[in-house]
Amino acid sequence: MAAFTKSEPQLGMTVPAKLAYFGLKAAAFPAMCALELGEAEYEAVKVDFADWGAMKPTTPTGVLPVATMADGVTIVESQAIMRQCAGAVGLLGEGPAFVKSEMLIGLTNDLNKEAGKVCPTSFTVAGFDAAKHAEFAAAKPKILAQVAKYEQFLLASGDRFTECGATIGEIDLFCKLYMFSNGALPEVTAGCLAAFFERMSALPQIKKLLDGESRWGALGEYMVPLPAPPAPPAYELQYFGVPGPGEMPRMLLALSGADWTDTRVKGVDWGALKPKTKFGQMPVLKDAATGDEMCQSRAIARLLAKTTTVDGKPLYPSADHAAAFKIDEFVDTFEDARANLGKTFSIADQAEKEAARAALVAEGGAILELLRKIEAQTPDDGYMVGGATTLADAWAFFTLNLLRSPFLDGLSNSTYMDLGLPKLKKVVHTFAAIPAIKAYYAARTEEAYKPHTETA
């Protein structure tokens, strides 16, 4: 492809005498590309990370890039520098092309913000754990949907947005696409932007920069490919052999694919084990590698749900504060309903105990009233929150099947089916259809699990 033809300066802007930045394709990448396309004469100050500590206090704001003009004036902030360089070589665009270029910069800022939250970089990849993998998987569809929005602004040729084809908005988009495609999102340079990316990559001045043959020499990659997911940790879960509070962690472990041991404690053995536990309670989750002991069913469930995914989405999306709150709200309300059962365990008379439990799910009963309130807040799509499987769905499955488990005397096997809760029933059956859940309950033959195996 022929070299790009440089244009006249705009707005009285001049080329910086020096541009200082690290040897990375990152924040200063668009400014570098603009200067190379304009065949500008300037000094590239490639800062070594070993020297940055001493240099940092001498910069105006303690960050790079920094552009120094011929008169000694310094410019900071990568987008200001990018526009200064573009104006100096005539790449801001004129008229409608200027407007479209600025529009592209705005769109690309939004894209970069979303991708930057979840993509690994050369600085963060070492700590890219299972939770970050889950966050990336959840965010990826939204990021790719943002990329698809650019198609409507391409010219008929499909390989540019303006007749110039190299306004600073187009340069900025190309740089971000290059960074993402060499990192965790190779898909961004396929589809609607493939022709645009290929044309920009082939411009001789850009190719020279990418190949390490410009005044900048070899430049490292800031964005890096997605690392292999860490192996799920090995756990031991200790709880009684009934579908009580310890059943929630069991379900999540079954969903997670983790290597885990299901230690079902017999009632006769609990007396000896109890003083050895952290709080004298079960369930207890033990990390087989560290020996750490974790207690409290809700705390354990949230821990596991943050790194457990269904259809690529985490059961507890920590980064989405609104969704996480809604999940917690449902979970805590389900637990408020379940707490009413606790009062019945101290009733000595069997008939009285069974009558008390039946009353809880009868008209006016405390459990039924709370479940109806949850039902009123539940969508009609088979999911509790956001149209996807979350910890709230697992809690619905757990709670409603508990209410018909044979180990709770006084409650009918059809209890929740008779309560007039159609939306919650749909959630239960949607969750039960997950293959890992079906497989887990297929192996449970105990009478206490009959409702769960029937549902799954």
Give pLDDT tens digits for 300-335: 999 999 989 998 889 999 889 999 999 999 999 999
> Is 245 a residue whose pLDDT tops 80?
yes
248 closest CA partner among 286, 323, 304, 291 = 304
In the block, tokens 């885990």 appear at 260
Task: Give ranges for CATH 1.20.1050.130 in the chain.
Answer: 18-221, 234-455
User: What's the CA angle centered on 303, arms 299 and 305, to 5 degrees?
Assistant: 115
- 89-95 mean pLDDT: 96
In the block, tokens 């645009």 appear at 196
**CATH class name, domain 234-455:** mainly alpha
| pLDDT score of 198 | 97
Strands 24-25 and 220-221: what pairing? parallel
Residue 61's region, left for phi above 0, alpha for psi from -120 to 50, else beta, is alpha
List the single range of 9-18, 83-92, 105-114, 312-321 with lowest mean pLDDT. 312-321
**145: CB partners within 8 A, 6+ apart:** none
How far does Cα 143 stand from its chain's mean position?
Answer: 11
Fold annotation for 18-221: Glutathione S-transferase Yfyf (Class Pi); Chain A, domain 2 (1.20.1050)
| pLDDT score of 451 | 81
In the block, tokens 């006084």 appear at 410
Task: Work out the pLDDT band at 7, boundaries 50, 70, 90.
Answer: confident
List the single range of 11-15, 93-97, 106-110, 340-344 with lowest mean pLDDT. 340-344
